[in-house]
Amino acid sequence: MKILNFAFDFDDVLVAFNATFALYHNERHGTVIGYDDIHNHDLEHVYDCTKEEIIARIGAFFLSENHVATPAALGAQQMLHNVNKHGRSFVVTARPERFQEQTQVLVDLLFPGQIDFVHYTSQFGSEAGETPKTKAEVCLGLEATLLVDDMPHHTDGAALEGLKTVLLHTPWNCSHEIHPTTTRVRGLKEVESEIIKIASLVSK
């Protein structure tokens, strides 16, 4: 029987990154930004700073106690519990490898035994020695059954390679046109339904 591999983005798919980072940024930098104000995935445009500054601020957040307090996305733990009955789950994140330790702490705290491993593409804020890869490349190499993400450029790239893709609806992707084979969903319960649908087709 074929093993199904489910690839999940980490930030804003499995954990509530943007909501938590907004609170952190407001405290540290005097901004007044809420989750619903984040209408651009390039966060320097949301927080009115340079690309270099937002990379540094997010890096500082990853190293802070606020990061450890990042909660799981609504329904993420139950969703993983349910879909892992049909295959195995792993994370494909754009985070740089240098934050592997901090990310793994959060994975172990929120999703013990539910995530097989975490792959870092280093697409966000990569430094010397870190070689960025696209999520499509990683998913193909890992023989992923599907990719669940909140960024259209990741789902579009994977869809162009023939992978099943699911886009989780957010304020920063709501106006984007998506690849015709990508399914847009409004919550992790719908993600779970899509995965179970795929699993039932494969098992026939």
Report the distance separating Cα 49 and Cα 54, nearest Å: 7
Band (pLDDT 50/70/90 cuts) for residue 165 is very high
Contact 94, 123 (CB under 8 A): yes
From 15-29, 43-57, 118-132, the region with the lowest mean pLDDT: 118-132
The tokens for 117 are 């491993």
**How much is the pTM?**
0.95
Q: How far apart are CA 73 and CA 95, in angstroms?
A: 17
156 in Cβ contact with 136 (< 8 Å): no
Is residue 1 predicted with pLDDT exceeding 60?
no
Residue 200, phi then psi, degrees to nearest 5: -70, -35
Written as six digits, the tokens of 65 are 């106690």
Q: Which residue has the higher pLDDT, 147 or 202?
A: 147
Looking at residue 166, its pLDDT comes to: 97
